[in-house]
Structure 1
Amino acid sequence: MRAIEVGLRFLVQQGVRYVFGIPAGSINAIYDALLDIPELKPIVAKHENSSGYMAGSYTRITGIPSICVASSGPGATNLVTPAANAWKQKLPVIFITGSVPSTKLGKGGAQELYAEPIFASITKMSRTVLDPHQLPDILAEAYHTAISGVPGPVHLAIPIDIQMTDIGVRELPVLPPIEQPVMDSSAVKAAATRIKAAGLHGAILLGNGAKASSDSIVQFAETIGWKVATTPRGKGAFPENHPLSLGVYGLSANIKASEYLNGSGHDVLLIIGSSLGELATSNWESRLVAGKELIHIDYDQSVLGKCYETHYPVHGEIKIVMAELLNQFSVDGQDIAHASDVFQGLAEAAAAYEQGDEEWNTLAAIRRLRAAAPKNARFFLDIGEFMTYSIQNLLIESGQEFDIDINFGGMGSGIGGSLGAQLAEPNRPTICITGDGCFFMHGLEVLTAKEYQLPILFVVINNARLGMVYHGHMLQYKRCLEDFSQERVSIAGVVQSLGLRHAEVRSIDQLQGGHVQEWLSHGGPVVVEVIVEGNEIPPMGERVKFLQGATY
């Protein structure tokens, strides 16, 4: 049996189900082996960069590692950006790149590249495999490294001859035991004591790491009666139509979230699952922590105290920590009965959120899309001007999900990411909100969605310019190059040429609940072009301040 086939069969044994990438000469042995391993399904993308975002979103949602492959040379370098994104998001994606034959290394082979050091700083492990008999064991080591401790991506460069070498019949590698998460019980107890002492004078800020513990966090917030905000990536961790919700803090923050968290009405700030970077904290806003004691819960110990002084650091798996916090309150007989009337006024809150969208523009389109979306929809956001409106105005209710690769996602990352999301949860409606600039970068992945019959609704906001760049320059420099805008291109026309279902929207009347239901029930991908002028200034002022150096 070929060395690569043994390695792939080991990964199948661990539950790996998808190989994302693009076939090419130096990795053709992998794709040939897949013909004999039906449990491992290939998803052939249109660009390696997109395939990496597909793998990342699938792994983030399911918790199951995925494989992302690319050829040597340019294929490998096209994976650097999604690998860095997986590194930022702590996702156990297994990146495999091909290489020229091991006997020809250093002799100027076509597309030869020493990829190992390129990936070293953005993976937990990057190695070149030069012994075919060791390939299965090294692949097992890479898998174990990816899922152990704080998860993260790994990378292997495998020369084509090493992949193809017959190593005979052999047993699959055996994984060493996985260390179980450890919780500092004394730290949890100290945090609980401080929360009780604060009474109602506290607030909660949730990051992306809190999403897996959303139910217990809602229960805890209701128990203690504290207001809750989320970071942009944490959006969806707490129902935004809940009376305790403040909305989003950080980039494109909701006004009430900024005013409350930057105010002096609370003594304690409980942070759950956020590394507190620039976009999560409005450029490391000092008022967020001024005069407050911080309780910070995260499974990655390295983020505790990194950006702000933390008085009560709690290192541990967030689900386990939240369960123990709830237990601390119930055991002590101190259930604070704030939950009895906490759900009053939900309908009023949701209705108020939808008002004021009579004028046709990007904001109106985002609000109408939210109002028409199914109660179990997943919104997958791309990167651009439209994301600032979406962060503020997509009210995410219980049962819905929100995803954005905001820390290292490039333009077009949401298009590829939405395919991975749909594969991860095939029964959940997926709505990808993207822009014309993003579409021109990676829009042909809608064809990949067609080929794999993925029923994703792609909403493309077309304002005929690089909107975030244009408005950023106008805010910062009061002028910009004409090149940031372009003659409007019919994206619906492009999509029509690809044989996909499409629609063109120019008014609120064309974006109603019935339209969205019809598009989502089509059975395959649908691309909706939303045509707007885009002259209104998006809510991105804090980002501009940072670029101006105002917070240095």
Structure 2
Amino acid sequence: MRAIEAGMRFLIKQGVKYIFGIPAGSINALYDCLYDLPELQAVVAKHETSSGYMAAAYTRITGMPSVCVGSSGPGATNLVTPAANAWKEKLPVIFITGSVPLSRHGKGGAQELGADPIFAPVTKLSRMVMTAEELPGAIAEAYWTAISGVPGPVHLSIPIDIQMHDIGDIVLPELPLLQERLAPVDKMLIDATLEAVLQAGERGALLLGHGAKSAKDEVLAFAEQTGWMVATTPRGKGAFPEDHPQSLGVYGLSGNDKAIEFLNSNGHKLIIVLGSSLGELATCNWEARLTAGKQLVHVDYDERELGRCYEADFALHGEIAPVMRELSAGLAQAGIGLSAERKMRLEQLYFARLEAAAAALDRETWNTRTAIRMLGAHAPEQTRFYIDIGEFMTYSIQNLLIREQQQFDININFGGMGSGIAGSLGAQLAEPERPVLCITGDGCFFMHGLEVITAKEYGLPIVFVVINNARLGMVYHGHMLQYERCLSDFSQQRVSIAAVAESLGVRHMQVGSVDQLQAEHIQQWFAEGVSGPLVVEIVVDGNEIPPMGERVKFLQGATY
């Protein structure tokens, strides 16, 4: 048995199903052994960077480690960006890159590069495998390292001769029987937090980060028990149903006015932050008013996040779900629940907001915001919205109304332009039955749009909505807000994305008005029995200023 086959058999044993990447000479021994391993499916992308974003999305959604493969040299360096993204998102992605034969190292082989030190700053482990006999164990070590403690990516560089060497029949490595788990939060700290919650009464608030998505039921139960208002960070969007009477929407980058006004006010005495690192984009540039004059409870499974940006009165290192269950149980024991009067008041305010939103939508003119709002209003109940990086992102954060059964994904911390296009493929593979709607832009499409061919080749029914404003919209508007001028190169002659999709043999349509984006049209996009992707080009002028003012303020402060 070749060494690389033994390594792949170990991964199969752990439940790994997909190998994302691009084949090439220095890694082809891995792809060759897949002929004999039907349990592993190769997902061959159009760019290594895209494959890394696919792997990250798959892992984020399933919780299963994924594998991403690239060749030596440029194939490896193309994977550094998605490795950094997985590092920021704490995702256990296993990156494997090829290398020239070990016996030829240092002799000027084609595309020779020592990749392991390049990956080291953005992985939990990065090393070169030096012997064939250690390769299966090295993959087992990488897998265990990726999932242990705070998860994160790992990287192995494997010379091609090491991959191909026959090591005979071996016993595959075993992982430890007991998975590492966080110790329960100290009971005295839970009790002290509960006392603070009881003292706050109705004057409390919740701010949910991405980590809170792991405890949606527990968070909803606690919120309805207390009657507290709930906001999310941009990455936490979807952790709480935004059609709920207690929802404030998003706080932070492109946040909703009501969320920013409420959390920055003195209307509450206590704020509980769940699963957020409280970085720039989550906190309106580390806004001091978020915690001023209030007690702060911060819960996170990564101890390094506690106290990094805001000093917490109660810093709870642990899993969010059991913490919220204990707090809810304590409230129930104390006889605390949402009063009928407060419930009625919240519902009245909510229905008033709904009426105002419906009236506003009826009055909308055709622009990016209108298109985003209509996508949110008419998408199927189970939709996963996968948002790319650009001007449309700010409108999506602020204007998509994510309902209880829907999901919202965005790589806002380290996702590059086009990462949403690639990530949506990983999302569809992770949940084949859930509709996936990727919102992207023309600039993103020019970077990684050819991954729609990959979606076509694997029969993935993703709807790619491309907002075409014939410019790098976020860059253009940000530059104009900051400097009041910009280069003409930020814009370009409009290219028909629908025509590009047609040339690729992909289903497509072009939308240029409200009348073409009604409920019946969007329902047809997701009709049963339809296979393969659909590219929907939405043509807008894009002259309106997107809701990105807080980001511009931060850049201005860093510049002047």
The normalised TM-score by structure 2 is 0.96
1:396-545 alignment runs, 5 A limit: 396-521=402-527, 522-545=530-553
RMSD: 1.5
Question: C-alpha offsets along residues 391-425 of structure 1, whole Å, 9 cap, x if unaligned?
Answer: 00000010000000000000000000000000011
- The aligned residue for residue 285 of structure 1 is 287
Question: C-alpha offsets along residues 10-56 of structure 1, whole Å, 9 cap, x if unaligned?
Answer: 11111111110000011101111111111111100000000000000
Contact residue 354 and residue 367 of structure 1 kept, 8 A: no
Contact residue 270 and residue 294 of structure 2 kept, 8 A: yes
Contact residue 128 and residue 157 of structure 1 kept, 8 A: yes
Contact residue 380 and residue 404 of structure 1 kept, 8 A: yes
Which of residues 207, 211, 219 in structure 1 aligns to 2:213?
A: 211
Look up the SS of the partner of 2:557 in the other structure. coil
- The aligned residue for residue 183 of structure 1 is 184
Contact residue 241 and residue 349 of structure 1 kept, 8 A: no
Contact residue 226 and residue 336 of structure 2 kept, 8 A: no
Q: Which amino acid aligns with 2:387?
A: L
Once residues 341 and 93 of structure 1 are traced to their aligned partners in structure 2, the CA distance between those partners, rounded to angstroms, is 47
Q: Which amino acid aligns with 2:261?
A: E
Give 1:347 shift.
5.9
Q: Which amino acid aligns with 2:537?
A: E
Q: Which amino acid aligns with 1:182?
A: A
* 1:270 maps onto 2:272 in alignment: yes
Which of residues 219, 222, 226 in structure 1 aligns to 2:224?
A: 222
Give 1:513 shift.
1.2
Q: Which amino acid aligns with 1:217?
A: V
Contact residue 227 and residue 343 of structure 2 kept, 8 A: no
Q: Which amino acid aligns with 1:353?
A: A
- The aligned residue for residue 297 of structure 2 is 295
- The aligned residue for residue 557 of structure 2 is 549
Contact residue 465 and residue 485 of structure 1 kept, 8 A: yes
Give 1:323 shift.
1.9
CA gap 1:27/1:355 in 2 versus in 1, 3 angstroms: farther
Contact residue 223 and residue 337 of structure 1 kept, 8 A: no
Give 1:341 shift.
4.7
- The aligned residue for residue 163 of structure 1 is 163
Q: Which amino acid aligns with 2:371?
A: A
Give 1:138 shift.
1.1
- The aligned residue for residue 364 of structure 1 is 370
Once residues 216 and 539 of structure 2 are traced to their aligned partners in structure 1, the CA distance between those partners, rounded to angstroms, is 36
Contact residue 242 and residue 343 of structure 1 kept, 8 A: no
1:232-247 alignment runs, 5 A limit: 232-247=234-249
The normalised TM-score by structure 1 is 0.98
Once residues 164 and 359 of structure 2 are traced to their aligned partners in structure 1, the CA distance between those partners, rounded to angstroms, is 62
Look up the SS of the partner of 1:169 in the other structure. coil
Once residues 241 and 285 of structure 1 are traced to their aligned partners in structure 2, the CA distance between those partners, rounded to angstroms, is 26
Look up the SS of the partner of 1:136 in the other structure. helix
Q: Which amino acid aligns with 1:180?
A: R
- The aligned residue for residue 325 of structure 2 is 323
Contact residue 132 and residue 163 of structure 1 kept, 8 A: yes
CA gap 1:298/1:350 in 2 versus in 1, 3 angstroms: same
Q: Which amino acid aligns with 2:419?
A: S
Give 1:330 shift.
2.3
- The aligned residue for residue 52 of structure 1 is 52
Give 1:519 shift.
1.4
- The aligned residue for residue 306 of structure 1 is 308
Give 1:335 shift.
3.7
Contact residue 87 and residue 152 of structure 2 kept, 8 A: yes
Q: Which amino acid aligns with 2:200?
A: A
Once residues 61 and 149 of structure 2 are traced to their aligned partners in structure 1, the CA distance between those partners, rounded to angstroms, is 18
Which of residues 353, 357, 377 in structure 2 aligns to 1:353?
A: 357
Question: C-alpha offsets along residues 66-102 of structure 1, whole Å, 9 cap, x if unaligned?
Answer: 0000001000000011100000000000000110001
Once residues 461 and 215 of structure 2 are traced to their aligned partners in structure 1, the CA distance between those partners, rounded to angstroms, is 28
Give 1:550 shift.
6.5
Once residues 504 and 421 of structure 2 are traced to their aligned partners in structure 1, the CA distance between those partners, rounded to angstroms, is 16
Q: Which amino acid aligns with 1:245?
A: S
Which of residues 249, 252, 258 in structure 2 aligns to 1:250?
A: 252
Q: Which amino acid aligns with 1:463?
A: N
Query: Gaps spanning 5+ residues in structure 1: where?
Result: none
CA gap 1:435/1:149 in 2 versus in 1, 3 angstroms: same
Give 1:178 shift.
1.8
Higher mean C-alpha displacement, 535-544 vs 180-189: 180-189
CA gap 1:537/1:375 in 2 versus in 1, 3 angstroms: same
Contact residue 202 and residue 228 of structure 2 kept, 8 A: yes
Look up the SS of the partner of 1:132 in the other structure. coil
The percent identity for this pair of structures is 66
Once residues 265 and 352 of structure 2 are traced to their aligned partners in structure 1, the CA distance between those partners, rounded to angstroms, is 26
Q: Which amino acid aligns with 1:55?
A: A
Contact residue 283 and residue 551 of structure 1 kept, 8 A: no
Contact residue 354 and residue 371 of structure 1 kept, 8 A: no
CA gap 1:393/1:51 in 2 versus in 1, 3 angstroms: same
Give 1:340 shift.
5.8
Give 1:348 shift.
5.5
Give 1:469 shift.
0.5
Query: Gaps spanning 5+ residues in structure 2: where?
Result: none
Give 1:344 shift.
3.8
CA gap 1:336/1:196 in 2 versus in 1, 3 angstroms: farther
